[in-house]
Chain A
């Protein structure tokens, strides 16, 4: 069975500092993809970054990077130089090749950026 775990219900970070949001996963698939989404208070889901299980390098997208440690089954999101607009819920998600394309999410982390 697939599972995503986000152990930080809430996080605070000072503006302009970096923050790491934790994500661990469990799957029996050899091939899978990991995603991070941002959900502001408006409710829309905004795609941030993707990491494939066979990608050797950590994914980066602007201020977002994914710290992928395959052996530990972790896929932590790092946001550099936090901005007030980064305050939102953040979800880690996984999609496997062998599960009919099943897409599952973690519990989410609520990030608050302080001025």
Chain B
């Protein structure tokens, strides 16, 4: 069964801490995405990557960075966590470079981050 796995389901971190959210997929996908989901705002794209060591900013990259050293792993990094980064973070991946009728996008279960 194909999977996108997010390392932590629930995290509580202190303001100023460095936070790592890990996403691993076992489908040899080139494309991986990080979103945050907030009520009323939907899913907002933070960063995405279309290949190893390649990354592109999404719509809300401020306060975040990413790392893609291996194809299967896409890490989201909060260099200095702040309370306004309390949210649900969702990872996704797909093997197709472009949209199409067979374009299957796989999602992780989400990581709930609380910054206190």
Name A101's contact: one of B31, B88, B90, B107 (CB within 8 Å).
Answer: B31
Whether the pair B50, A44 counts as a contact (CB closer than 8 A) is no
Known interface pairs A101-B50, A103-B48, A103-B92. Does A9 touch B40 (Cβ–Cβ under 8 Å)? yes
- Kindly list chain A residues whose C-beta atoms are within 8 Å of the C-beta of B56: 100, 102
| B42 with A105: CB separation less than 8 A | yes
Interface centre among B40, B90, B99, B104 (most CB of A within 10 A): B99
| Alpha-carbon gap, A97 to B103, bound state (A) | 12
Name the distance in Å between B2's Cβ and chain A's nearest Cβ.
13
Q: How many residues of A contact B (CB 8 A)?
A: 26
- Asked if B33 contacts A103 (CB within 8 A), the reply is yes
Given A101-B31, A101-B48, A105-B42, CB of A43 within 8 Å of CB of B109: yes
User: In the docked arrangement, what's the CA distance between A88 and B45, Å?
Assistant: 21
Task: Return B110 CB to nearest CB of chain A, in Å.
Answer: 5
- Considering the complex, which residues of chain A in the window 54-103 have a beta carbon less than 8 Å from any beta carbon of chain B? 91, 93, 95-97, 100-103
| Contact (A33, B105) CB under 8 Å given A100-B56, A101-B48, A105-B35 | no
- Beyond the given A43-B88, A50-B99, A103-B48, please list 16 additional residue pairs across the A-B interface where CB-CB is below 8 A: A6-B42, A31-B98, A33-B103, A35-B99, A43-B109, A43-B110, A50-B101, A50-B103, A93-B43, A101-B48, A101-B94, A102-B56, A103-B105, A104-B59, A105-B44, A107-B41
